[in-house]
Structure 1
Amino acid sequence: MSISARYYDGLVATSHQVNLFYERLGTTGALVLREPQSNAELTRWPAQTLQVIPGRSGELRLGAVGLPDGARVVVSGETDIARIRATLPMLEERQRRESGRQVRLAALSTLALAAVILAYAFGVPLLASRIVAIVPPGWEEGIGATVAGQVEASIGGDAGLPLCDPNPQSPANRAIARFADRVIAEVGSPFTLDVRVVRSDVPNAFALPGGRIYFFSALLNAARTPDEFAGVLAHEIGHVAHRHGMEQLISTAGTGALIGFILGDMTGISVAAGLGSTIIDARFSREAEREADRFAATVAQRLDFDPAALARLIGRVGQDNDFSRALALLSTHPLTDDRRLALEDLGRERPSGLEPAFTNAEWNAIRDMCKPETLKAK
């Protein structure tokens, strides 16, 4: 006795009305599809290849392994569906196995996604310092140049970077370059420093991979002594010397950085793209900040400035409040008071008779470099 059904061959969208027959062949059988008028056989599907395809309520959809994805037979009506299931009991078992497989696949996919998230959130930052150690300095300089282009575009736009003093041979720029060269030369860093003082209302300073440092005029104007300026600049040079900027980029870029490193694409495209506008506000880890603070204190052992002045300047432009103290255990940035106390301890043993970081004339030139020309002339 046949069962009426709709047949889709998977090649065209048109359906064909067919009659279904089941032929037993020894221990197995086949589902035979015949044309209703002529009773001609259109195709037959071996029973061992049959499977249930998810469909609408009140329908039973059958497919077969090895056929086009759209090939199916659709049976409607509770009576005919019950007859199919009674004739082909193996369909129930296969459907249960498929449901179990889908559940296992979903669970494995969820676990895999969780593993990727954990690796991205915790694994990559832990690996970043090790990756940095094997990144060639030339690659880091290339990445730094890419990020610098994005940073300068975000700061200056079409007008270009608003430097306080574009003349590299001015007394102020020469004094800053002399200080930076003396500091970096003592640590054997492969990078040549390029310190740029930029007009900005934001009190900030930051270092990029490869040696570029930006010092914003609002922070310079907030400095009351050459010690405060020298402390911040030495701190930023510490970030360059310890390659914290590259470490931060790798940690932020995550798996993209790892892939770029494996493929040899560390020239700035895979790691730095899109990060220039965010690195200005990026904060290094507590350990990186402490390391840069210790670097500044070490510089103060060679040049005559108080490393604790760094924390005093930061304290004036970003004073700790009750909210920041409450979140101190969760914050990646050390509290200013903690930094000040640590820097005071580090600077307590400074020897006497050291050469000043800047002469009075140099400090006056640096302090005035971001003032309007009319005020400089006076």
Structure 2
Amino acid sequence: MIKLTPILLIVLYALAMWAFSAWRLRAELNARSTPLTDPRLAAALDRLGAAMGLGRVRAHVYEIAPVNGLAAPDGRVFLTRGFLDQLDAGRVTEAELASVIAHELGHVAHGHTRRRMLDFAGQNVVRAVLVGVFGRMVPVVGPWLAGLVATALAARLSRQDEYQADAFAAALMIKAGFGTGPQKALLGRLDAMTGAGGARGLAWAQSHPPAASRVAAIEALEARWQVR
């Protein structure tokens, strides 16, 4: 039992970090978000809800400038104020924002956000264990290698989540009568819009797949669906 004590302490620390992170995220979103009531998006929210056999989809506006969408662990979906600013400027359409909401609904439907919070705790355990192992094997660069391995594992899981959410969004957009055109068009511009175009770094270390790969995956799904 004595030998297990360090690992148990790591697990308890990771769980405490998970609980704190979940609480902090919920508090942040509650303090800085409001219901999405923009009349320009009302019809799109109705169509998405009807396609799922529900009433109007409820979404929220997260009052931050970066262009992004978000699915919270409690099931809420968000567009940032930055995305709505892009709508005001005529750089995105209502249908394209509907595809963002559909994508975030995909994360909710697959339980990605809750799982990511749990993964965060698990990654802390993995990182700490790897630091101990690599630290003994290669003392100088061991901690760096441990962080690299943990980051690679987390990025791989996150990229898989993005493909799943894209597939959900594509099916929902088709059922709602939008088609996948708005989704693919927005993905094609998203890197430039978010400022990520020149800073992707090593592909395996990124949490989101390249936009071109995501578009190709959607088109492959469409081809399969048409055959059926």
Normalised TM-score (structure 2) = 0.61
CA 310–162 in structure 1, closer or farther in 2 if over 3 Å, else same? same
Residue 330 (structure 1) aligned to one of 205, 217, 225: 205
**Residue 301 (structure 1) aligned with residue 174 (structure 2):** yes
Looking at structure 2, the residues matched to 322 and 201 of structure 1 have their Cα atoms a distance apart, in angstroms, of 20
**Residue 237 (structure 1) aligned with residue 102 (structure 2):** no
Q: Which runs of structure 2 are paired with 1:72-221 in the superposition (5 Å)?
A: 109=3, 113=6, 147-153=25-31, 155=32, 161=33, 165=37, 171-172=39-40, 174-185=42-53, 194-221=58-85
Task: Assess if the C-alpha contact under 8 Å between 2:48 and 2:172 holds in 1.
Answer: no
> Which residue does the alignment assign to 2:93?
225
Looking at structure 1, the residues matched to 23 and 57 of structure 2 have their Cα atoms a distance apart, in angstroms, of 13
- Consecutive unaligned residues of structure 1, counting only runs of 5 or more, are 1-104, 125-143, 156-160, 187-191, 256-281, 352-378
CA 254–150 in structure 1, closer or farther in 2 if over 3 Å, else same? farther
- Consecutive unaligned residues of structure 2, counting only runs of 5 or more, are 16-21, 124-153
CA drift of 1:221 comes to: 3.4
> Which residue does the alignment assign to 1:250?
118
**Residue 292 (structure 1) aligned with residue 165 (structure 2):** yes
Larger radius of gyration: 1
Instruction: Report the 3-state secondary structure (helix = DSSP H, G, I; strand = E; otherwise coil) of the residue aligned with 1:215.
Output: strand
CA drift of 1:285 comes to: 0.8
Return 144-153 or 285-294, whichever deviates more: 144-153
Task: Assess if the C-alpha contact under 8 Å between 1:193 and 1:213 holds in 2.
Answer: no
Looking at structure 2, the residues matched to 198 and 323 of structure 1 have their Cα atoms a distance apart, in angstroms, of 24
Amino acid at match of 2:114: M
CA drift of 1:298 comes to: 1.3
Amino acid at match of 1:232: V
Task: Assess if the C-alpha contact under 8 Å between 1:207 and 1:214 holds in 2.
Answer: yes
Identity of aligned residues (%): 27
> Which residue does the alignment assign to 1:340?
215
Looking at structure 2, the residues matched to 184 and 149 of structure 1 have their Cα atoms a distance apart, in angstroms, of 29
Looking at structure 2, the residues matched to 332 and 206 of structure 1 have their Cα atoms a distance apart, in angstroms, of 14
CA 152–322 in structure 1, closer or farther in 2 if over 3 Å, else same? same
CA 193–308 in structure 1, closer or farther in 2 if over 3 Å, else same? same
* Structure number having the greater helix percentage: 2
Looking at structure 1, the residues matched to 62 and 28 of structure 2 have their Cα atoms a distance apart, in angstroms, of 15
Looking at structure 2, the residues matched to 206 and 198 of structure 1 have their Cα atoms a distance apart, in angstroms, of 9
CA drift of 1:236 comes to: 0.5
CA 322–309 in structure 1, closer or farther in 2 if over 3 Å, else same? closer
CA 116–204 in structure 1, closer or farther in 2 if over 3 Å, else same? same
Per-residue CA deviation, residues 166-202 of structure 1 (Å, 9 max, x unaligned), is xxxx63463244134234438xxxxx95301344322
CA drift of 1:296 comes to: 1.1
CA 323–164 in structure 1, closer or farther in 2 if over 3 Å, else same? closer
CA drift of 1:290 comes to: 0.8
Task: Assess if the C-alpha contact under 8 Å between 2:92 and 2:186 holds in 1.
Answer: no
Per-residue CA deviation, residues 239-291 of structure 1 (Å, 9 max, x unaligned), is 11111111112222449xxxxxxxxxxxxxxxxxxxxxxxxxx9871111110
Looking at structure 1, the residues matched to 62 and 223 of structure 2 have their Cα atoms a distance apart, in angstroms, of 33
Looking at structure 1, the residues matched to 112 and 43 of structure 2 have their Cα atoms a distance apart, in angstroms, of 25
Amino acid at match of 2:105: I
Looking at structure 1, the residues matched to 47 and 169 of structure 2 have their Cα atoms a distance apart, in angstroms, of 12
CA drift of 1:116 comes to: 7.2
Instruction: Report the 3-state secondary structure (helix = DSSP H, G, I; strand = E; otherwise coil) of the residue aligned with 1:185.
Output: coil
Per-residue CA deviation, residues 32-77 of structure 1 (Å, 9 max, x unaligned), is xxxxxxxxxxxxxxxxxxxxxxxxxxxxxxxxxxxxxxxxxxxxxx
Amino acid at match of 2:171: T
Task: Assess if the C-alpha contact under 8 Å between 1:198 and 1:217 holds in 2.
Answer: yes
CA 298–164 in structure 1, closer or farther in 2 if over 3 Å, else same? closer
Instruction: Report the 3-state secondary structure (helix = DSSP H, G, I; strand = E; otherwise coil) of the residue aligned with 1:301.
Output: helix
